[in-house]
Amino acid sequence: MGYSKTLAVSLFAVLLLAPAVLASDPDPLQDFCVADLDGKAVSVNGHPCKPMSEAGDDFLFSSKLAKAGNTSTPNGSAVTELDVAEWPGTNTLGVSMNRVDFAPGGTNPPHVHPRATEIGIVMKGELLVGILGSLDSGNKLYSRVVRAGETFLIPRGLMHFQFNVGKTEASMVVSFNSQNPGIVFVPLTLFGSNPPIPTPVLTKALRVEAGVVELLKSKFAAGF
């Protein structure tokens, strides 16, 4: 009886763990899998592969991050993405990159990458980099001014931001351990969702009057 009970508990534990094991990204089974972004084949992780005979060699190289982005935006920053949609050669390899340019006083607003850890290097200027811990850490803010040549690390799923504290333009390049790290901009998500989050929910959660929520919604009605 005791043996049967132990066996049952063991099988139950295996069943609980199985989804977590199966949910991890598989290792690639070929040298390259250049994404066929228009492919119709069913794919669980990443995109279907182009035949290697049609891939050429451009998929190994990109100059997209060589040019600074236009920082004449409400945030005073510009993000140039280099994920699988922009660089199909990264398909199944679990990597991607971004370049972010900042005008003086520009910010990359608080946001989260739900599927990736981020590591970055400041290429020019000086940026205040802030990482917000979870409730486990007491919602602690970890921050430092990071200067050209210095690096920073953002754990997966933690909210973070960058702000140009210098008097000149700044730029950084970041890498992710995912071909599609995803992004959730906190202000846009709260006040520019589609359909909108009901105002009473936000007034209660943020402890402000309805007029404040409606004002903030109007600021993000057109997105970023």
Annotated ligand binding at 47? The verdict is no
* Cis previous bond, 195, omega within 30: yes
Tokens of 117: 């850890």
Q: Quick one: tokens of 175?
A: 């890498």
Pick the closest to residue 181 from 104, 86, 75 (CA basis): 86
User: Annotation-wise, does 169 bind a ligand?
Assistant: no
111 has binding-site annotation: yes
- The whole-angstrom separation of Cα 167 and Cα 127 is 11
- Comparing CA positions, the residue from 175, 136, 180, 152 lying closest to residue 46 is 180
The secondary structure of 120-189 as a DSSP string is: EEEEESEEEEEEE--GGGTSPEEEEEEETT-EEEE-TT-EEEEEE-SSS-EEEEEEESSSS---EEHHHH
> Which phi and psi (to 5°) does residue 91 adopt?
-55, 130
Residues tagged in the binding site annotation for Mn(2+): 111, 113, 118, 160
Residues tagged in the binding site annotation: 111, 113, 118, 160
